[in-house]
Amino acid sequence: MTKTWWKESVVYQIYPRSFKDSDNDGLGDIPGVIEKLDYIQSLGIDVIWLCPVYKSPNDDNGYDIADYRNIMDEFGTMDDFDRLLEGIHARGMKLVMDLVVNHSSDEHKWFEASRKSKDNPYRDYYIWKPGVNGGPPNDWQGFFGGSTWEYDEQTEEYYLHMFTVKQPDLNWENPKVRKEVQEIVRYWFEKGVDGFRMDVISLISKRPEYAKLIGERFDEVVTNQFANGPRVHEFLQELNKEVLSQYDIMTVGEGPGITLEHGLDYVGEDRNELNMVFHFDHMFMNMGDGGRFDPLPIDFQEFKDVFTRWDEKLKGKGWGSIFLGNHDFPRMVSRFATDGPYREKASKLLSTLLMTLRGTPYIYQGDEIGMTNIAFEDPNDYKDVETLNFFKALEADGKDPKDHLGKVYEIGRDNARTPMQWSDGKNAGFTEGQPWIKVNPNHTDINVEDQERNTESILNFYRKMIQFRKDNPTLVYGDYESIQNEHPQIYAYRRWDEVNEFLVVLNFSDQEVDFDPIITGLELLAYNYTDATEDLLMRPWEAKVFRVND
Ligand code: ISL
């Protein structure tokens, strides 16, 4: 397996809207990120992934781009961006931007031209179809609910939008669109950007039949009908050949619908497409028949198996990404562990998991201090378009969103979008103004300032674990094997190469567990209880990493 910087990197994801507000308009911004670069560097971060900062009407918080070469006014100017990039590079870190090119905003000049007339030169930049029997071209339902087709009176046709009506899908069949994307990517590489996270890149090639929906379960429809279309690999290989391969950069494709079976087609080292993907096997594993807002309990066995299966599949052939949350999902500690009395131990345990699996780890802002989910009592406090659409659908059904808030508490995207908790002061130190979304009231207990002072804090544990990973390349490249895989509370695995062998033992439960790994010569190196000993009587949410010495 070839060794490269992006395999050895630890990535920190910033959702700028909620990170740090420098001008007190209530929205985070680029100068706010600049203020916090020393903090990010102090964690031991190598790469920052910045969610979209381009010009946008913000129907989906920047995932609807109106100008790919300019910065959103609310976030600052291109000068601010240049200073940010400089500041990142000066600290020996790298910057990965978000590339959102499955769709643009309906306020992009291409779309404004496209919708004018059927013979406009930009018509084919998007996907237009005539209606069928007075209705939309087919019965597809989008990611945020409702038809994927919107009727446009000007030309009496429908356009495709897999997300909101303000996010029309680009037509990648059109070579001009592909050329535009190549030029956008080149523009940012020429500025010195170090890579891209590519939004829903698995969706760019549509199945030309636009056939009737093939099933009811949304995840199955995504995998088999919306994602992994017939030309997706050709398009990615072309992008790679024309631009990506000419720079020393990293790419990670966001891949709803990319299952184990497709993974290597995207990231196989012989494929010349992407370096990594974010698959969603663990993120969507608890989706019930009713879709996103019908969550089931997390199945711990399946959780472990997902990591094991992907490691097995990619080993020696491609590279993985390790993440447990981002701006689209609940807080990892609330979702996969516990935000009750053991929250602190549980956050450290998840950090241990992130830093000891094979693949590049991604930390989402706030997880390094153990931020948790939010539960707003008033539906009007929610801001995410997906949640708002869910409320609208309920209301259309004669239901009261208030009676269904439990689902939003469990799975809604705003859980991860409350402002970063810098201090116990006003608005958690995020802004002096009115924050665009309410701050989590628990900032009085969970905040950076407090954890900076406490040597045993979650924050300082992250610093240690990141350093631990860097000190031990075995944890980056070494082999992986799950131990006593069927254990109902413990996730244990070995990582080894010619130089070293490690055993990681994680107790995912509120109970004490007497674990016997049947391995001897164990030397305790990292742990989340200060008084930990070398035995394997694992206390609730206890995490231990041993070196195996014989
Ligand atoms: O969060 C989800 C819906 O339940 C996911 O399906 C998510 O929409 C999907 O992973 C795509 O996410 C990305 O593209 C979206 C944007 O809203 C998300 O924020 C982004 O991460 C459309 O651009």
Q: Are residues 358 and 279 in the same domain?
A: yes
**Average pLDDT, rounded, for the chain:** 98
279/263 Cα distance (integer angstroms): 8
Q: Are residues 156 and 68 in the same domain?
A: no
Q: Are residues 333 and 388 in the same domain?
A: no
Report yes or no on 468 lying in a domain. Answer: no
Q: Are residues 353 and 395 in the same domain?
A: no
Q: Which residue from 63, 328, 329 has its CB within 8 A of the most atoms of ligand 1, so it is best to mutate?
A: 328
- Cβ neighbors of 332 (< 8 A, separation 6 or more) are 324, 325, 350, 364, 367
pTM: 0.98
Q: Are residues 512 and 527 in the same domain?
A: yes
Asked whether residue 212 carries a pLDDT value surpassing 90, the answer given is yes
Packing angle, helices 300-314 and 260-267, rounded to 10? 40
Closest ligand 1 atom to residue 292 Cα is 4
Closest ligand 1 atom to residue 60 Cα is 17
Report yes or no on 81 lying in a domain. Answer: yes
Whichever domain contains 155, its CATH number is 3.90.400.10
Within 13 Å and on the Cβ side, how many CA atoms surround 219?
19
Q: Are residues 403 and 494 in the same domain?
A: no
Closest ligand 1 atom to residue 103 Cα is 23
Ligand 1 centroid from CA 120, angstroms: 30
Report yes or no on 471 lying in a domain. Answer: no
pLDDT score of 380: 98
Ligand 1 centroid from CA 415, angstroms: 14
- Give the residue whose CA is nearest to atom 4 of ligand 1: 292
Asked whether residue 550 carries a pLDDT value surpassing 90, the answer given is no
- Give the residue whose CA is nearest to atom 20 of ligand 1: 199
pLDDT average, residue stretch 489-514:
98
Q: Are residues 186 and 323 in the same domain?
A: yes
The total number of structural domains in the chain stands at: 4
Q: Which residues line ligand 1 (CB under 6 A)?
A: 60, 63, 100, 143, 163, 199-200, 254, 256, 292, 327-328, 386, 413
pLDDT average, residue stretch 418-424:
98
Domain membership of residue 332 as a residue range = 5-103+175-380+415-461
Q: Are residues 90 and 45 in the same domain?
A: yes
Q: Are residues 433 and 535 in the same domain?
A: no
Report yes or no on 168 lying in a domain. Answer: no
pLDDT average, residue stretch 216-228:
96
Report yes or no on 124 lying in a domain. Answer: yes
- Give the residue whose CA is nearest to atom 16 of ligand 1: 63
Report yes or no on 420 lying in a domain. Answer: yes
Q: Which residue from 143, 170, 293 has its CB within 8 A of the most atoms of ligand 1, so it is best to mutate?
A: 143
Q: Are residues 95 and 117 in the same domain?
A: no
Q: Are residues 336 and 364 in the same domain?
A: yes
Q: What is the DSSP letter of 250?
A: E
Q: Which residues are catalytic?
A: 199, 254
Ligand 1 centroid from CA 162, angstroms: 10
Report yes or no on 350 lying in a domain. Answer: yes
Q: Are residues 196 and 235 in the same domain?
A: yes
pLDDT average, residue stretch 468-480:
98
367/195 Cα distance (integer angstroms): 23
pLDDT average, residue stretch 149-170:
98
